[in-house]
A and B are shown apart, each in its own frame.
Chain A
């Protein structure tokens, strides 16, 4: 069983392919890190996979009708928009919209999902705060909680940990990993290769619109790949505390 499968997904901007014939599939239990330099096509790939962009090739998600898709995958965009000064709890409850029958209010199960998301992201003390008045990092956690409240088998998040402090970055990656271990799947794009190496079960490396490498972190973050795609050298070690990856020098 797969939660998402892409077959030769291609997105063009004019003639030039921004995402070039990318194929992979994601199964339950995977915490997939999508890595690549700026402009590699990570966001475009994720949006096209969700059916938010016109594309060629197949995506199992974009083929679904809108409502079924919303029950299958939750999406946390990179732009952290919160348009109105709503309370944190209200904002997180927006994640229940795809599950609510027409005209219904939040039901018992919806409240439970919202409470679970709040507990997971450690936002208990923020419930009644106005979301627009929080710091950038706090807003990011609230928006992750919103996506969690959607309670979908697949969670797709675009740079969710950018701008978080180290403790919250690690805690968030642990939440994603825990979701995977519960039998759901997560696809997360991120720039922190160290965190990707430690917390993801699998990495997808993109460069110039193409999928360069796909596999467990040690197989993807090879010196050769890292130099070719990111243009840096790096230090890698297996330690008693788990893998350590640290980019070192720019090679070009």
Chain B
């Protein structure tokens, strides 16, 4: 429980720091007073309509990605599983891009998240089909590469066929992943899907624990493999799909966070679920603060920063896995 308290405190502190980070300089006390007051002053508008939704979205997106990563790793019994790496985020992005490009997103506001969700569902199903129930690392990563490549190629095709270069540039920036200029509309759009995803994923804890002993032993302990798979697919797709729909593709959170936290929960998959949700929230909050602090005059993208931090960690993880296998 010490870990839970620590992670909660960390998320709270970073949430506060995120609220106090941004273009408009104001002393913290005044800013927080303006946030609560909502008196229509410019500072109050900035706090309530720009910074608050941004911080809330960082928590939601981070929690979704961290949780989905931990659940996928537990299910596939593989520390290299991650929604971004195995193509789920890429496929969700493809779905979103199609919705933007076809103008569907303008006609019908739910088209963007639903389309991202559909992309994510397709990718998770393909991954589970290709990687097989035993989830060997190599088949999983290869399946992930193939699906990422396919999603990337189809996204490029959409851009390629885009009649308007400005729309294309918009999409490219959107895909880099960012939480800048999001509003409460985005929060309300994503929240129902994410909440559904969280509930589904958190319910898999005990089955994931049982899977530590392999699929056969888990089934003999009363775990229904079909139900677990469906829960996991829908949960991951709905959490990651919604995250991608509002924030673009943000990779490596689901890889790095469970990896860092695993030793602190005694490697138990069920405990890693909530820990990774909190850890993911903290990580995205921190990265989103860094994005605004490091190069405030350039619009540095969250997904870019995440990948810059995550990719070296991923390499380190592969190096360690290789050493353990040798």
Contacts and interface: CB of A to CB of B under 8 A. Distances in A.
Given A84-B269, A146-B213, A67 B220 contact: no
Contact of A83 (B206, B214, B216): B214
A129 to B, nearest CB: 12
A77 B217 contact: yes
A95 B269 CA distance: 15
A188 to B, nearest CB: 15
Contacts of B219: 52, 66
State the 9 A-B residue pairs at the shortest beta-carbon distance, nearest first: A81-B214, A75-B220, A70-B222, A83-B77, A84-B267, A77-B216, A66-B222, A67-B222, A86-B267
Contact of B220 (A69, A82, A83, A84): A69
B268 A75 contact: no
A98 interface: yes
A47 B221 contact: no
Contacts of A97: 206, 209-210, 221-223
A252 to B, nearest CB: 33
B156 interface: no
Nearest to B212: A83
Contacts of B221: 70, 94-95, 97-98, 150
Interface in A87-143: 87, 90-91, 94-95, 97-98, 100, 130, 143
A4 interface: no
A85 B212 CA distance: 9
Contacts of B223: 66, 97
A151 interface: no
A76 B220 CA distance: 9
A148 interface: no
B216 A47 contact: yes
* Interface bin, chain B: 20 to 34
Contacts of A77: 213-214, 216-217, 220
B224 interface: yes
A74 interface: yes
Contacts of A100: 206
B267 A75 contact: no
Contact of B213 (A47, A50, A69, A81): A81
Contacts, number: 75
A73 interface: yes
B211 interface: yes
Given A50-B220, A76-B217, A84 B210 contact: no
B213 A82 contact: yes
B210 A94 contact: yes
B220 A94 contact: no
A86 B268 contact: yes
B266 interface: yes
A52 B224 CA distance: 11
A83 B268 contact: no
A98 B269 CA distance: 17
Interface of A: 47, 50, 52, 66-67, 69-70, 73-77, 79, 81-87, 90-91, 94-95, 97-98, 100, 130, 143, 146, 150
A202 to B, nearest CB: 22
Chain A interface mostly: mixed
A141 to B, nearest CB: 14
Given A70-B222, A98-B222, A75 B212 contact: no
A98 B220 CA distance: 9
Given A75-B217, A84-B269, A85-B267, A91 B212 contact: yes
B82 to A, nearest CB: 16
A97 B224 CA distance: 13
Contacts of A75: 216-217, 220
A83 B272 CA distance: 14
A87 B220 CA distance: 22
B220 A73 contact: yes
Instruction: Give the one of A50, A70, A143 with max B CB within 10 A.
Output: A70
B216 to A, nearest CB: 4
B21 to A, nearest CB: 37
A50 B206 CA distance: 21
Contacts of B77: 81, 83-84
Interface string B192-222: 0000000000000010011111101101111
Contact of B209 (A73, A76, A94, A150): A94
A107 to B, nearest CB: 15
Which of B213, B220, B224 neighbours the largest number of chain A CB atoms within 10 Å of its CB? B220
Contacts of A87: 266
A61 to B, nearest CB: 9
B222 A90 contact: no
Contacts of B220: 50, 52, 69-70, 73-75, 77
A82 B267 CA distance: 11
A150 to B, nearest CB: 7
